[in-house]
Amino acid sequence: MDIPRARADLHPMILFFSALIILLAIVAITRRHDARLVLLLAGFGLGFVAGNPGAILRMFLATISNEQFVLPICCAVGFGYMLRHTECDQHLVQLLVKPLRYIQFLLIPGTVLIGFMVNTPVISQVGTAVVIGPVMMPLLRKARISALTSAAALLLGASLGGDLLNPGTPEWRSVSQALKKIDDYKEFDSRECTQRVAPLLIIQVGVATGLFWFMSLLRERRRRLEEEKQLANQPGDDADGTSFQVNLTKAAVPLVPLVVLFLTGPPLNLFHVPKEWLVQGEMTAYESRLIGAAMLLGTATAALVSWKSAKDTAKVFFEGAGFGFTHIISIIVAAQCFGEGIKLIGLEGLLRAVVADHPSLLLPIAGLLPVFFAALSGTGFGATQSLYEFFVQPAIGIGINPVQVGAVVAIAASAGRTMSPVAAISLHCSSLIGVTPLTLVRCVAIPLIVAVVVTVGVAMLTARN
């Protein structure tokens, strides 16, 4: 077989120093150095190796000021803060949890699924865990489910990918931005991604939850005596929400932006928001601003139904927006710079060459690389942001729907983040029970890996549809 041109163009010295930089980045991240700093330094390092550090600087400046990301994400996190401030999120959680109090054998999968559902309107994984943890953890412990299994169920549910059903999640902004560079997708709406990901996500969630439940039952059986001794030494905890009075109006508030976005977008398109309401002249920001406007509407609704808390609305919203910029936008910027560095050294061309030689490897690679990247960096959206664009042209070249590839990348990235001992959600859940993140991650790794394999297999069978 002839050596593809893209492979031949990679100078050995460039490959050596690039591999060294990437290896050092991996080591630094595994030692829990700040992933943003590591990715930025690695990106600039790759830029210098490729002889074009200016490209990394331009990417940094373009991404940190990119309305396509900053506006919807910061507004979404600001809305999440308002939900917490008004306790609307708690009313939704209590409503979802209520049936589980009477069917305790379903508590483990129920915790995972409730976390998944709450993560859809509350796109922050840690935010989801903070919302459902105080309700679910006491319920699980009272049912004599071990602390380790309880925290692992919380981790899995909060990070499995419920946010991928939200059109405002940053992953779909990445996919939309990459596809709009292609003539056939100039008018692509990121809300269409939720339609493509939903069938695959159902498979991912079903396999991961089912296998985790089975493995948890086996683990609980082995550890029952030990856990009973630990539980006997703990004071009683009645904070399980049994006396919580659910307000259905408040429980519906977290769903307001989702309803707006689904009613105004494909495939329903029941309502149309005039573009002149949101933008003037150039219309490229319309979609991002629509997502932001939906989050603002949700924030206003939360203030109206909790009018006693309305005086702090602006303060709480902007605190959340600032948190989103610090903890989400920053990692997107760093991941973009790192991805640009990888592109500059020619690995994108190498991937195209490999896919051209072996088309059947496209989707397996699209599943493997994001899992690896997200597990190391602790970020699912960062992995999607850095890697998805590499797969777009190879997918189109072999006749595979690039939106389907985007769904695979995003699902795999979410799985990798959940398996990451340096992810914020893993650090949070492990701190609740005083174990290392790696101990907790081991409980969810096998179910997630098996689920990704099955999901990629199904995606391969349906990719050309």
DSSP characters for 108-173? HHHHHHHHHHHTTTS--HHHHHHHHHHHHHHHHHHTT--HHHHHHHHHHHHHSSGGGGSTTSHHHH
Rounded Cα distance, 150 and 172, in Å = 31
- Rounded to 5°, angle at Cα 445 from 150 and 123: 70
Measured in whole angstroms, the distance separating CA 302 from the mean position of its chain's CA atoms is: 24
Report pLDDT digits (tens) over 128-146. Answer: 888 888 888 888 888 888 8
Give Cα separations from 391 to 42, 137, 185, 360 (angstroms).
Answer: 21, 40, 15, 13
Give Cα separations from 356 to 4, 41, 362, 391 (angstroms).
Answer: 9, 32, 9, 12
- 18-22, 170-174, 445-449: segment of lowest average pLDDT: 170-174
Report pLDDT digits (tens) over 411-446. Answer: 999 999 999 888 888 988 998 898 888 999 999 999
Given a cut of 50, whether residue 1 has pLDDT beyond it is: no
Rounded Cα distance, 416 and 370, in Å = 7
- Judged by phi (left if over 0) then psi (alpha if -120 to 50, else beta), residue 104 lies in alpha
pLDDT classification of 170: cutoffs 50, 70, 90? confident
- Judged by phi (left if over 0) then psi (alpha if -120 to 50, else beta), residue 184 lies in alpha
Domain edges within the chain: 8-231+248-462
Average pLDDT over residues 272-292: 78
**Residue type at 374 in one-letter notation:** A
**Residue type at 238 in one-letter notation:** D
Residue, of 441 and 234, whose pLDDT is higher: 441
Structure confidence at residue 234 (pLDDT): 46
Report pLDDT digits (tens) over 331-342. Answer: 878 888 888 888
pLDDT classification of 152: cutoffs 50, 70, 90? very high
**Residue type at 240 in one-letter notation:** D
Given a cut of 60, whether residue 161 has pLDDT beyond it is: yes
pLDDT classification of 3: cutoffs 50, 70, 90? very low
Rounded Cα distance, 158 and 418, in Å = 9
Residue, of 8 and 114, whose pLDDT is higher: 114
Report pLDDT digits (tens) over 317-365. Answer: 999 999 889 887 888 788 888 888 888 887 767 777 777 778 888 999 9
Mean confidence (pLDDT) of the chain: 85
In 3-state terms, what secondary structure has residue 185? helix
Residue, of 464 and 187, whose pLDDT is higher: 187
- Rounded to 5°, angle at Cα 305 from 302 and 311: 70
Highest mean predicted confidence (pLDDT) among 19-33, 171-185, 268-282, 291-305: 291-305
Residue, of 167 and 267, whose pLDDT is higher: 167
CA-wise closest residue to 170 among 234, 202, 125? 125
Contact, 388 vs 175, CB < 8 A?
A: yes
93: part of which helix (H) or strand (E)? Answer: helix 88-97
Residue, of 320 and 237, whose pLDDT is higher: 320
Residue 231, C-beta contacts closer than 8 angstroms, at least 6 positions apart? 141, 144
Give Cα separations from 433 to 59, 210, 429 (angstroms).
Answer: 40, 24, 7
Rounded Cα distance, 36 and 385, in Å = 14
Average pLDDT over residues 265-270: 70
Contact, 59 vs 340, CB < 8 A?
A: yes
Q: What share of the chain is helix, strand, coil (3-state, %, to 5)?
A: 80, 0, 20
How many Cα atoms occupy the beta-carbon half-sphere of 203 within 13 Å? 19
What length does the chain have? 465
Given a cut of 50, whether residue 201 has pLDDT beyond it is: yes
Highest mean predicted confidence (pLDDT) among 2-11, 264-273, 366-375: 366-375
Rounded Cα distance, 384 and 257, in Å = 23
415 φ, ψ to 5°? -65, -45
